[in-house]
Structure 1
Amino acid sequence: MSDDVRRMHQVGARLEARLLATPLEAFTPAAAELLRDALGRLRPVLRSLDEVICSATEAE
């Protein structure tokens, strides 16, 4: 599990940096639309992960 946490940190930081450095408008319209869709599908996954992390790390 610790390897998964480390990888999420790495991938999350890389994606954040790329999104900040290159706006979707810099891509072709077709590529931007694909990225928009993929990022939209990622949002509920990240929300669910956040909820599980909060639940798992709450003090009892």
Structure 2
Amino acid sequence: MVITLPRKYDIQAGQEFCITRDAKGVITLISVITDFFKDAQPGEFVDEEDELARKFSPLQGEVDE
């Protein structure tokens, strides 16, 4: 689908969007986000807090709804 948008919105040519249309016909464009981790090396985004989270075990009742 091709949609022409006014220049004032500063949308780059070729930018991708997910498009939805509701029951009233309103069209919503949600921009597709670039995959930040696509070219990441193993462990590149691991820090101290990640290591802490891996060792965490909730006690009884800590994750009740």
Q: Which has the higher contact order (CA 8 A, sep 6+)?
A: 2
Between structures 1 and 2, the one with greater strand share: 2
Between structures 1 and 2, the one with greater helix share: 1
Computing the radius of gyration from Cα coordinates, the structure with the larger value is 2
TM over 0.5, yes or no?
no
Normalised-by-shorter TM-score class: under 0.3
Normalised by the length of structure 2, the TM-score is: 0.22
